Amino acid sequence: MTLERPFSILVTDDDPAMRDTFREIFEPVGFRTFLAGGGEEAIEIVHSHDVHVALMDMHLPKLSGLETMAIFRQIKGMFPMILISGDQDESLMRRALSAQAFSVLAKPVSRSQVIYIVGRALEKFY
């Protein structure tokens, strides 16, 4: 993936190792990377920074990934948000679709898969 302009990505996961892994994937290809350990921290980042795409873990302390995404929509409107979950089922897929998630990825996420989905999201929205 080659970026035509500087994009920023917000990675929200309560697992510090997952956040670091995503940073190691996206910073070398030119993304400005913001990391959050929970929904509240992610909301603060979206309030104060220009975020182009968000990777959200479904299961976070206090606010779920879907709840956080709904708040993002109120703050920023439409931008691509990708939900990540270890337990995908039909109910989660329906809720993610109604929350206007760009995609839902199953954990563990492969490097090539997440790069591909983020690239598609950027192409569609920007």
pLDDT tens, residue by residue, 81-115:
999 998 878 888 888 888 889 999 998 899 999 99
Secondary element (H or E) of residue 123: helix 111-125
Q: In this structure, what is the dihedral angle of CA atoms 5, 49, 111, 123, given to the nearest 10 degrees?
A: -40
Q: Is the pLDDT of residue 4 over 70?
A: no
> How confident is the model at residue 47, as a pLDDT?
94
Average pLDDT rounded to a whole number, residues 8-26: 96
Band the pLDDT of 41: cuts 50, 70, 90.
Answer: very high
Token readout for 117 is 């989905």
Give the mean pLDDT of 107-126: 93
Q: What is the pTM of this model?
A: 0.92
pLDDT, position 98 = 85
3-state percent breakdown (helix, strand, coil) of the chain, nearest 5? 50, 20, 35
CATH superfamily, region 8-125? Response regulator (3.40.50.2300)
